[in-house]
Structure 1
């Protein structure tokens, strides 16, 4: 199971701060979370940055480590 931490607008769209989800890749994770929480979160996930165990992950097809922590960071306004 992956531990998902939502931040800012992603947290508001998901309606939770943290949850556990099973997924093999970020692509699978984003689809699962969109199905679970709705298209509003899905739109945020398309533009979000992902940290996997504290490291930025850009490859959404790469396999995720077992029991990883995934931080979902939506784009932030400001400087």
Structure 2
């Protein structure tokens, strides 16, 4: 499986306690599963509500293959108005 960079924003950064990490994942769904395995309840909740960007493009097909060196952004819902 390819090694990718995962960047966390806002509540995801708080929940995972990091700005970014590197891990192996074949798809965004694989990535979510991998992150959820080691996550606490708060982080799992954030993941379930987040959207994802792959190389700055919305991941509309979370089953699409990731490639070595891709960057996936975890974007929780943002408050504001």
User: Is the shorter-chain TM-score for this pair beyond 0.5, marking a shared fold?
Assistant: yes
Matched, 1:56 2:77: no
**Would you say how many aligned residue pairs link Structure 1 and Structure 2?**
79
Question: Using the alignment, how far apart are the partners of 1:39 and 1:33 within structure 2?
Answer: 12
Deviations 1:30-67 (A, max 9, x none): 01101122232121111111111111112111111221
Structure 1 unmatched runs, 5+: none
Structure 1 residue ranges (4+ consecutive) displaced by more than 6 angstroms after TM superposition: none
TM-score (norm 2): 0.89
Q: Please state which structure has a larger fraction of its residues in helix.
A: 1
TM-score (norm 1): 0.91
1:11 matched residue in structure 2: 13
Structure 2 unmatched runs, 5+: none
Deviations 1:5-31 (A, max 9, x none): 100000010011111010001111001
Please provide the CA RMSD for this pair: 1.1
1:73 matched residue in structure 2: 75
